[in-house]
Amino acid sequence: MSIFSELTEGLPRQAPGSASATLRALGLVRGLPTRPRILDVGCGPGAQTVELARATGGWIVAVDIRQRFLDELTERAAAAGILPQVTTVNTSMFEMDFADASFDLIWSEGAIYIQGFAAGLAAWRQFLKPGGWLAVSELTWLVPDPPSEAAEYWARNYPGMGSIERNCQIVAEAGYVSMDGFVLPVQDWWNNYYQPSERRVEELREKYADDRDALATLEETSREHDLFRAYHDAYGYVFYVMRNPPA
């Protein structure tokens, strides 16, 4: 757990993304009230939380299980001047107990995989108002027959990973309508996610030069970087934006 924390804490993002991708996805959402109530699930250090607060003027409840990330979000929100709009909640996405139909928009970048794409869409819908919106980014196969090396790696690390077509089917089966979305550009993996991670890995290789278990973890992280470098045409993060049917 120590090496995992050191690998992740203090990085700009905990999943591929960018301010432009957040705002592009938000642009697919229509008819929000003037100051919407937003739930950000698995917010991490909150880069997207700050963008949502700025763009919507809304009230955001940001949920994460790691207090360090919530503290980083609080610092970011204070620096951006939007701290009064943000409430942080330290809880698991499996244990959220918000009132039914209490949010105009639910947001989650790179975190729904923890609960599972289908399970998350089904569970979170209860918190959406009729006509409310849900936007999530999810690791997705972009080709029908991915290279064997990539397929084997993700079969071990995320066996629930689906295709765009399958995920669109899951969205419809969960009862959502008006679905739209887009594939995140390759630079959204590198600029704020993999490049900072690669620098962190190199720092930790020196720190843990005599720790075989730690070095094995770092090697696996580097392998993920190299795999995407080789096969970024085969898989990527996709933003799925959908609506809870109006009453």
Mind listing the pLDDT tens digit for each residue in 3-60? 888 998 889 999 999 999 999 999 999 999 999 999 999 999 999 999 999 999 999 9
Kindly tell me if the per-residue pLDDT of 97 is higher than 90: yes
* 17 dihedral zone (left: phi>0; alpha: psi -120 to 50; beta): left
Extents of the domains making up the chain? 15-185+234-243
Q: Determine the Cα–Cα distance for residues 10 and 5; give it in Å rounded to an integer.
A: 9
As a whole number, mean pLDDT of residues 96-102 equals 98
Kindly tell me if the per-residue pLDDT of 245 is higher than 90: yes
In the chain, what percentage of residues exceed pLDDT 70? Answer: 100
Kindly tell me if the per-residue pLDDT of 1 is higher than 70: no
81-91 pLDDT tens trace: 999 999 999 99
CB contact set of 16 (below 8 Å; sequence gap of 6+) = 110, 137, 184, 188, 189, 192, 193, 194, 236, 237
The pTM assigned to this predicted structure is: 0.95
Q: In this structure, which amino acid lies at residue 207? A: K
The structural architecture, per CATH, of the domain 15-185+234-243 is 3-Layer(aba) Sandwich (3.40)
Give the closest residue to 240 by CA, choosing from 29, 42, 51, 49.
29
What is the token pair recorded at 210?
């005599």
As a whole number, mean pLDDT of residues 211-227 equals 94
